[in-house]
Structure 1
Amino acid sequence: MTGSPNWHRDGGLHFAVGVEDTFVPQAGPGERPIDEYELTEHYERWHADLGLAVEAGAELVRWGVPWHRIQPEPGRWDWDWLDGVMDRYAELSLRPIVDLMHYGTPLWLPRQFANPDYPKLVAEYSARVAERYAHLGVHDYTPVNEPMIHALFSGEYAYWPPYLSGPQGLSTMVGQLARGFVLAQRAMRDVLGDRGVFVHVDAGMRYVGDVDAPEHREHAARLKDQVFLVEDLVTGRVDAAHPLVPHLRANGWNDADLAWFAEAPVLPDVMGVNYYPRHSTEVFEAGVFHGGGFRDPRPTRDDGVAGLTELIREAHTRYGAPVMLTETCVTGSVKERIDWLDESVAALHDLRASGVDVVGYTWWPLFDMYEWTYRHSEQPREAHRLTMGLWRLEERATGLERVRTDIVDRFRHYAIGG
């Protein structure tokens, strides 16, 4: 792999691209499975797709393993496809930041994340991946992508399996995801030792507007603290003084649960923040009630680089680790995307100049992706395509072609030192 194993400590700003890797393979009545690699034809086009990352000048690629594919049955592993991908990374001297859990469990796991065996199973899977590819220099891992978003969709909104709802459901999902997170990172650290670089990633969320209105004050305060809840748990920051301890206790947590996290924290080598300027800032309105999520969304506000700067500073101060912008883009025209690329890269350089240890920038995704609404729709995939990528996806008789846009040249300009 390219570069130093300690790329996050060498003083540089490293540029990455991401390949959208949401996996929700379960499907009930009125639902379709989401497998972004299948939707984008990445399973067939991975060899050329990784070449696109090189063409864009990226050094790093945030890229996920489809657990449901490589472990199709309990105790049975199918490595053939993944072996080819990892060999391709080595051939290209690209460094993957391997995303191990991006929303979906294997089909054979009853009750999915609510299964009591989930934490130990995800730890076993993570350790096996780390062990299998350590000889190729694959040492950079994200144990769980966006665990709080994950907990909300699966545990409060009942939108994804295991379809839990309300405060109790959210509490259950937070606990299961956080335990799996801790056990997975510990298991991988045992395999990789000091070579391991763990990039913790969660969605940067901001809540603005009438947050102090009497009808919103308590809810808005909880949401602001909740943004950090899983990361606070796994890093051992949830003690008796943590503002969400009463909420956890009211929804099934006891002293032993809290002590388990406090006694053996796992820390980020890099703290990742995902920020989308048109979606990451939600607005409370006096007299208007929204539950949040896809079914009852609050309005959003584009706070541009001001919101980005706030969230990066907050993550750096809170966790004391180098910070990486692990996802960003705007869904819009090529010009709008180039404008945001220019503005967001400049913002990171300003943060670095002010002393904030920002080590990475990620454009997400490398090529267009398909919106999660595909799952509950009967429309063809093209109706759900999001214009987010450096490359456009275009339906042709031969399948989904990757069509280069002018954003590639601008990204490359920054990535190779512009």
Structure 2
Amino acid sequence: MTNAVFKSFFLAGFECSTHRRPDGRRLDLLAATDHYRRAETDYRQLADHGVHTARDGLRWHLIETRPGHYDWSSFLPMLKAANRSGTQVIWDLCHYGWPDDIDIWSPAFVERFARFAAAAAQLIRNESDDVALYCPVNEISYWAWAGGETGRINPCSFGRGNELKRNLVRAAIASIEAIRDVDPGARFITAEPLIHVDSPSPEPEHVVEAECYRLSQFEALDLLSGRIDPGLGGSPEYLDLVGVNFYPDNQWYLEGPTIPLGHHAYRRLSTMLQEVYHRYGRPLLIAETGAEGSARAAWLHYVSSEVQHAQRRQTQITGICLYPILDYPGWDNDRLCRVGLLGDVTQCGLRKVSQATAAELRRQTTLIDAHARQG
């Protein structure tokens, strides 16, 4: 199935995190999954499942090895692999990681990132005639919480989440401007968590606190679009395709446990998507979604059904990105997370396929194709 933006309605997301953990170890998930070497084979195997568009990433810390000097050897083979295989890629430019010599809290971070984004855009434009697609800064909201508020990932700080969020927004805006100077036709997505937070009690103060927490999910997008804190330079023009990330644990009670699917307090995904669409008036993308183990196929069924339900109510949704598309070692303990459509490399040189996920993907592709034909 094709649409106005992507070559396929279902997209594949390659885990490309490059952050440092609190113990100082830098992760490199493109290396850990061996995707950076197997990119063309992975892309072609996805095409066999009807997936022709992917989210993938550049590893900034490997590319800008010295200030202003770019070594593209870790990225150019992947870019060429995408071109040879006919795969459309949304390139993540900053997926939690940055070169060690930059102070992420400083204006220099914004300036360096904008120059890096422009250089990457120039390379991509030189190598491809397709419309370029970018996710400038991945999950600003989560990064601000995990890196600036709770010390879970770099910069491993506490109580500085708002400060980090605003500098990441500045960096995203500066990178979009820099890319558009090089390539005015480039398109952009966000990838922000989509959440629901409910009150554990009917007490008014708890209800209000839960609702404030729930609404905080929109802050990064509101900053980018200039709805709040306009001094940062936000404007509606910085929201192109609004990507949201939704997982089984994205709904919870305030300071309490996860709300399970099917519980009376669980909010329908379709309703959440409609809220985002009405708030911003921009096409939506499920930029990340997935589950682990035997829940993979059932979760895909639920998300796809809810997307179709929202579409029938005039919510413009351009795609669903299965993320991560490869099984990968967990951030904290290297535990193998069986989350992907594709897994270990077999003796024939291809990756093992989750047959239940593949079957559900075929079913949902057929249903969405039929829905598109009906208009």
Same fold per superposition (TM over 0.5):
yes
Partner of 1:83: 76
The aligned amino acid for 2:33 is: T
1:74 equivalent to 2:67? Answer yes
**Unaligned residue ranges in structure 2 (runs of 5+):** 371-375
Q: Identify if the C-alpha distance between structure 1 residues 87 and 104 changes in structure 2 by more than 3 Å, giving closer, same or farther.
A: same
- Structure 1 range deviating more: 144-153 or 264-273: 264-273
Residue by residue over 1:232-281, the C-alpha shift from the partner in whole angstroms, topping out at 9 and shown as x without a partner, is 01101116xxxxxxxxxxxxxxxxxx42435x5543221111101x2100
**Corresponding residue SS for 1:362:** strand
**Count of aligned pairs:** 361
Contact 1:114/1:162, CA 8 A, preserved across alignment? no
Q: Could you tell me how far apart the structure 2 residues matched to 1:392 and 1:77 are?
A: 32
Q: How does 1:97-176 map to 2 (within 5 A)?
A: 97-109=90-102, 111=103, 113-135=104-126, 136=128, 137=130, 139-166=132-159, 169-176=160-167
The aligned amino acid for 2:260 is: D
- Structure 1 range deviating more: 88-97 or 407-416: 407-416
**Residue 182 of structure 1: how far off its partner (Å):** 0.7
The aligned amino acid for 1:226 is: S
The aligned amino acid for 1:402 is: R
RMSD (Å) for aligned C-alpha atoms: 2.6
Contact 2:199/2:207, CA 8 A, preserved across alignment? no
1:273 equivalent to 2:244? Answer yes
Q: Normalization by structure 1: what TM-score?
A: 0.79
- Structure 1 range deviating more: 360-369 or 50-59: 50-59
1:337 equivalent to 2:296? Answer yes
Partner of 1:388: 339
**Residue 218 of structure 1: how far off its partner (Å):** 5.4
**Residue 216 of structure 1: how far off its partner (Å):** 3.7
Partner of 1:348: 307
Contact 2:2/2:9, CA 8 A, preserved across alignment? no
Q: Identify if the C-alpha distance between structure 1 residues 307 and 144 changes in structure 2 by more than 3 Å, giving closer, same or farther.
A: farther
**Residue 306 of structure 1: how far off its partner (Å):** 4.5
Q: Normalization by structure 2: what TM-score?
A: 0.88
Contact 1:182/1:265, CA 8 A, preserved across alignment? no
Q: How does 1:37-48 map to 2 (within 5 A)?
A: 37-48=30-41
Q: Identify if the C-alpha distance between structure 1 residues 310 and 41 changes in structure 2 by more than 3 Å, giving closer, same or farther.
A: same
Contact 1:198/1:269, CA 8 A, preserved across alignment? yes
Residue by residue over 1:193-225, the C-alpha shift from the partner in whole angstroms, topping out at 9 and shown as x without a partner, is 1x2111112011110132653664554343222
Give the counterpart of 2:325 among 361, 366, 370. 366
The aligned amino acid for 1:105 is: W
- Structure 1 range deviating more: 144-153 or 210-219: 210-219
Partner of 1:302: 260
Q: Identify if the C-alpha distance between structure 1 residues 74 and 211 changes in structure 2 by more than 3 Å, giving closer, same or farther.
A: farther
Q: Could you tell me how far apart the structure 1 residues matched to 2:85 and 2:98 are?
A: 30
Q: How does 1:249-288 map to 2 (within 5 A)?
A: 258-262=230-234, 264-276=235-247, 278-284=248-254
Q: Identify if the C-alpha distance between structure 1 residues 42 and 13 changes in structure 2 by more than 3 Å, giving closer, same or farther.
A: closer
**Residue 43 of structure 1: how far off its partner (Å):** 2.7
Identity %: 25
Q: Identify if the C-alpha distance between structure 1 residues 178 and 415 changes in structure 2 by more than 3 Å, giving closer, same or farther.
A: same
Q: How does 1:163-202 map to 2 (within 5 A)?
A: 163-166=156-159, 169-193=160-184, 195-202=185-192
The aligned amino acid for 2:307 is: L
**Residue 13 of structure 1: how far off its partner (Å):** 7.2
**Corresponding residue SS for 1:117:** helix
Contact 2:224/2:239, CA 8 A, preserved across alignment? no
Q: How does 1:229-248 map to 2 (within 5 A)?
A: 229-238=219-228
Partner of 2:210: 220
